[in-house]
Structure 1
Amino acid sequence: MAQFSQFPIISKKYQSALATVAELHKFQMRKDATAYLPHLMMVSSLLMEMGCSEELAIAGLFHDSLEDLENPLEIAELIETQFGKYILYLVKGVTENKELPTEQRKLDYIKQIFDGPIEVVYISFSDKWHNWCHGYARQPKLVKKPVIEFYAKLIPIFQDRLCNSVGQFYLQELINSFESISKSVF
């Protein structure tokens, strides 16, 4: 069952997770050459805004750590040791297998989200919302057919599973932008 809270709590555990993520991703950049850390913070922040638990917000901070950083086994051990098995479970639930070819990796990710618990859907949605609305929507020329096809398969999952009014608001924003940009790609 999804863990939701009416008020976000910024505990020492969350602060520690933020400091850890900042250290782990300190040299990572986004495709547009901006620092990566704000993306992780935005995903976490959106989860808090939707009323998700602190554990989901912490998992949101780490959502890309296993797939983007070297030594994923060491990173997984660090997450489990410092923040718990449940947070590691959530992070694994939104981690793509980078060893697979891109097309297969994306199909596996979609299945993972479709079959996953609601918490994983919320983390995935927060990540994909931020990637789209603060990435692709700002630079529509970067949107290629495989990106459209990927989002076209994820959006129905989000429509079926997001049960929160704040999440529904952000989902509609994503859908509106997606429909507008996808028309120009095809």
Structure 2
Amino acid sequence: MTGYSDRINHAFAFAAKHHDQQVRKGTRLPYLTHPANVAMILTRYGCSEDTVVAGILHDVVEDCVRDSMTREMLEERIGHKFGHSVLATVLMVTHRKVDDDGIELSSEDKKEDYLARLSLANEDALWVCAADKVHNANSILSDLRRTAFPETVWGRFSVGRDGTVRWYRRVANRLREVGFNAPIVDELDAAASALEQV
């Protein structure tokens, strides 16, 4: 790919608008650096335009609900602007706040629900999931290598070092359990292993 299409650029603009003022956890980096990196990872693996667009938008529904913008409004906008297949992919990798019965999920239950729903996810969603986790895990590794105080990095996460490391390993294992064995899962495995050894 020699450059991003108009549709992908439109997705970046949409994500930039909705993630405006947000920063990466524990840093001053604009949040948009994350979906941009996810898009680059997906592009590196030759994923389709729909997959790249979903990768750019994957956190919008989860992180951008505000007073003037409900979840339903965000979903409607994504479906209208980028198509219902992109919206479906985004929703498959969105942590849910409530289960199918409307019961609010705890932080740990959200993770269990996310892992369970990967068995229902389409291939695009599995790619987005893997790329998201590859970038997050490698970002943590980079931050750990740049600091003399690793506790400042692990302190960003409510589950601490052990819970964070375990999460990336569990996602990698779950992707394989559901039959997703693309090379990106090897990359996620390597990042999880590196975190385990830090």
Q: TM-score range by the shorter chain?
A: 0.7 to 0.9
Of residues 101, 107, 114, the one that matches 2:106 is 101
Q: Contact 2:133–2:188 (CA<8 Å) still a contact in 1?
A: no
Q: Contact 1:8–1:51 (CA<8 Å) still a contact in 2?
A: no
Of residues 30, 52, 59, the one that matches 2:54 is 59
Question: How far did 1:130 drift?
Answer: 0.8
Of residues 132, 142, 147, the one that matches 2:164 is 147
Alignment match, 2:194: 177
SS of aligned partner of 2:33:
helix
Q: Distance in 2 between matches of 1:152 and 1:174?
A: 9
SS of aligned partner of 2:79:
helix
Q: Contact 2:165–2:196 (CA<8 Å) still a contact in 1?
A: no
> Gaps (5+ residues) in structure 1?
1-6, 182-186
Question: How far did 1:133 drift?
Answer: 0.6
Which ranges of 4 or more aligned residues in structure 1 deviate by more than 4 Å? none
Give the total of aligned pairs. Answer: 173
Question: How far did 1:85 drift?
Answer: 0.2
Q: Contact 1:97–1:105 (CA<8 Å) still a contact in 2?
A: yes
SS of aligned partner of 1:28:
coil
Q: Contact 1:8–1:53 (CA<8 Å) still a contact in 2?
A: no
Q: Distance in 1 between matches of 2:56 and 2:193?
A: 26
% same residue: 27
Alignment match, 1:156: 173
Q: Contact 2:92–2:121 (CA<8 Å) still a contact in 1?
A: yes
SS of aligned partner of 1:161:
coil
RMSD of aligned Cα (Å): 2.0
Q: Contact 2:39–2:53 (CA<8 Å) still a contact in 1?
A: yes
Q: Which moved more, 1:142-151 or 1:93-102?
A: 142-151
SS of aligned partner of 1:46:
helix
Alignment match, 2:118: 113
Q: Distance in 1 between matches of 2:105 and 2:181?
A: 28
- After superposition, give the CA deviation of every residue in 1:131-184 in whole Å (9 maximum; x if it has no partner): 1111255235314232233223211133451324xx255234313313313xxx
Question: How far did 1:23 drift?
Answer: 1.0
> Gaps (5+ residues) in structure 2?
98-103, 145-149, 155-159
The reply to whether residue 75 of structure 1 matches residue 74 of structure 2 is yes
Alignment match, 2:19: 25
Alignment match, 1:10: 4
The reply to whether residue 50 of structure 1 matches residue 45 of structure 2 is yes
- After superposition, give the CA deviation of every residue in 1:35-57 in whole Å (9 maximum; x if it has no partner): 10010100111111111001100
Q: Distance in 2 between matches of 1:57 and 1:8?
A: 14
Q: Contact 1:10–1:54 (CA<8 Å) still a contact in 2?
A: no
Q: Contact 1:65–1:72 (CA<8 Å) still a contact in 2?
A: no
Q: Distance in 1 between matches of 2:72 and 2:187?
A: 33
Which letter does structure 2 place at the counterpart of 1:161? F
